[in-house]
Amino acid sequence: MITTQCAPLRGSYVSQTSTLAPPVTSVYGFGTCLPGYTVLSGGVYLSKPTGNGVENGIVETSIPTSSTGWFVRGESYDNASKLVSLEQCIR
């Protein structure tokens, strides 16, 4: 687990995209920034519908795909889960 904290950047925002993650199925997601914005960083996590983290699962991939997109892949072993992609978007 990597945790970072940053000062807020005017005009920046965090984009979030989620994908349903059936149990024991590798799923992927792709998040993008709005036109005119660039991806500064990104991340991924597995979540239950309640917002709590998934206890049994793996994150396989979390990488930028372009200057405006972020690709994530993971697998949950819990029922009713989702894979969430996060992107820090800046001007």
| Residues spanned by the domain of 75 | 29-90
The residue type of 27 is V
pLDDT tens digits for range 32-89: 999 999 999 999 999 998 888 898 999 999 999 999 999 999 999 998 899 999 999 9
Count how many residues are written for the chain. Answer: 91
44 is a domain residue:
yes
2 is a domain residue:
no
As a whole number of angstroms, the distance between CA 27 and CA 81 comes to: 11
The confidence band for 7, taking pLDDT boundaries of 50, 70 and 90, is low
73 is a domain residue:
yes
Number of domains in the chain: 1
List phi, psi (to 5°) of 72.
-135, 150
56 is a domain residue:
yes
75 is a domain residue:
yes
As a whole number of angstroms, the distance between CA 16 and CA 43 comes to: 10
Look at residue 10 and tell me whether its pLDDT is greater than 70: yes
Nearest to 86, CA basis, from 37, 27, 45: 45
72 is a domain residue:
yes
